[in-house]
A = this chain, B = another copy of it.
Amino acid sequence: MNKKAIGFLDSGVGGLTVVKQAMKQLPNETFYYIGDNARCPYGPRPAEEVVQFTWELTQFLLKKDIKLLVIACNTATAVALDEIRKRIDIPVVGVILPGSRAALKYSSNHRIGVIGTKGTIESGVYEQTLRDKDASLKTYSISCPKFVPLVESNQFNTSIAKKVVFESLQPLTKLNIDTLILGCTHYPLLKPLIQNVMGDDVYLVDSGAETVSEVSTILDYHNIAADSSGEKIANRFFTTGSTKLFSEIATQWLGTNHMLVEKVNLLENNH
């Protein structure tokens, strides 16, 4: 039993889709979240830069005393997970393996689509992970570079979003896939629009929900899950960008009335 917080990091607000699932599935746990909104999106950035930014966010969370780290960002998981695991001695969970596992569980026809940022799709990490697990799978990937800016600017419920999602996903609609991995934690905020374009027969894998199942497994495996006894430490949310915009999106997405969001200067905190 361990009451310490679980740390979540993301390029911006996308990882909140993972936190939302964590609040549902792990109500005894405390969550510390940092979004690097000032430097979002990570998708188009070179890998070395994403590794460096991820490391800075990790150091920030470690100083807050966390028991497990979730890299709640597909781009960062794709390029930085192995490196971060080497550098720190608490369990580190990424979002790519859980999403891939879920796709294998849900797909019947072995035809799986993947959408993600430019960085994630160009890394080929989902195709590689899926093929390693089952060489008979057919995968179809496209990058959707316009999706993250839509979410980060709080426009994910607009008619512009509807149009962008429709146009972006057209190449995937005629490939007879039965499962689509939302390979970016920002995308569940666009889920109704994506489901509408893909049709009800395509199962959408929310990597956030699946990642939380993995977090729960690892907590139990190491016997470090919190129980419901005693006082619970409050959740904390940090951003390198605008606390106002972060708070607007977070309260809407998490369904809370009020949220204190703390502004972070990584340079000050890490030195």
Contacts and interface: CB of A to CB of B under 8 A. Distances in A.
Interface of A: 21, 24-28, 97-98, 101-102, 104-105, 131-136, 209, 212-214, 216-218, 220-221, 225, 227-228
Contacts of A225: 133
A21 B27 CA distance: 29
A236 to B, nearest CB: 22
Given A132-B228, A220-B97, A105 B209 contact: yes
B97 A133 contact: no
12 contacts: A21-B105, A24-B104, A25-B133, A26-B133, A27-B134, A27-B136, A28-B133, A97-B220, A102-B213, A105-B212, A133-B225, A217-B218
Contact of A24 (B105, B135, B228): B105
Given A24-B105, A135-B228, A228-B135, A221 B220 contact: no
Given A132-B227, A135-B228, A227-B132, A101 B27 contact: no
A218 B220 CA distance: 11
A228 B25 CA distance: 33
Contact of A217 (B24, B28, B214, B228): B214
A177 to B, nearest CB: 17
A95 to B, nearest CB: 13
Contacts of A97: 217, 220
A171 to B, nearest CB: 28
Nearest to A25: B104
Nearest to A214: B217
Nearest to A220: B97
A62 to B, nearest CB: 20
B27 A216 contact: no
Contacts of A136: 27
Contacts of A131: 228
A229 to B, nearest CB: 9
B25 A105 contact: yes
A203 B42 CA distance: 37
Nearest to A135: B228
Contacts of A21: 105
A59 to B, nearest CB: 24
A41 B228 CA distance: 35
A101 B132 contact: no
Interface centre among A105, A209, A212 (most CB of B within 10 A): A105
